[in-house]
Amino acid sequence: MSGVERDFSAFVAARATSLLRVAYLACGDAAEAEDLLQTALERTYRSWDRVRHDSPEPYVRRVIVNAAISRARRRAILSIIPMHSPPERSARATDVDLRHVLMEALRALPPRQRAVIVLRYWEDLSETQTAEVLGCSVGTVKSQASKAMAKLRSALGRESAEGVIRNAHA
């Protein structure tokens, strides 16, 4: 194994699971997340000489998120994913359902809004860093995050859903 291959393998071994989780949250599907990750890593590997001297992880993350947005738009996923209503059953009976509802609500967000939520609240990126990943302004990140949160609140029914979530984690 060459030095480049050793370098790359070490990076993948250390960060692939974390990146797979980002990919899953960005696209909402485990199989597609694997495909996105592999695609992103292939692109990264082809540019490894250039990328490894900086920080490869932000580069891969950026490829993943932008590819997820691009694919979602191309496939017009938004037009075929139904919006879900908040569950009407009791809290204890819906632990799993509630998580499902929230994940479905996340999936139903427009791709860039979903990406903003994932980068801000999962990756803990600042608004500036999120804007850099998505290639947009900080103002756009703020407005997209605000719209996304409003949609999640609406889809979940903030008052009832937050109580149910608390019970689910109790």
Partner 1 sequence: MPMLEEEIRQIMADETARLQAAPDLAERVMRASRGRRTRARVAALATSVAVIAAAPIGYLTVGSVATTGQEPTISAMPEPPAIDDTPPVPSKPRELGDLGDGKEFGQVKVGYLPERLRWSNWSVDFGDRYSTSYNFDGDKNSFYCVQIYMYEEAAVQELDDRIQQYRDEGDGEEVTIGDRTGYLVIQHVGEDGMKGTPTLFLRMGDRQRAEIMFSPTYAKEFSGAEAVSAELKRIAEGLTSTR
Asked if residue 128 binds partner 1 (CB under 8 A), the reply is no
Number of residues that bind partner 1 (CB under 8 A): 65
Rounded Cα gap, residues 54 and 139, in angstroms: 27
Asked if residue 13 binds partner 1 (CB under 8 A), the reply is yes
Rounded Cα gap, residues 144 and 102, in angstroms: 18
Asked if residue 138 binds partner 1 (CB under 8 A), the reply is no
Q: Provide CB contacts within 8 A for 120, sequence distance 6+.
A: 127, 130, 141, 145
Helices within 76-156 (DSSP H only): 95-108, 111-117, 127-134, 138-156
Which listed range, 12-20, 49-57, 84-92, lies at the site for partner 1 (CB under 8 A)? 12-20
Token duo for residue 132:
């850099």
Binding site for partner 1 (CB under 8 A): 5, 8-9, 11-13, 16-17, 19-21, 24-25, 30-31, 33-35, 37-39, 41-43, 45-46, 62-63, 66-67, 69-71, 73-74, 76, 78-79, 99, 102-103, 106, 110, 112-113, 117-118, 121-122, 132-136, 143-144, 147, 149, 152-153, 158, 162, 165-166, 169
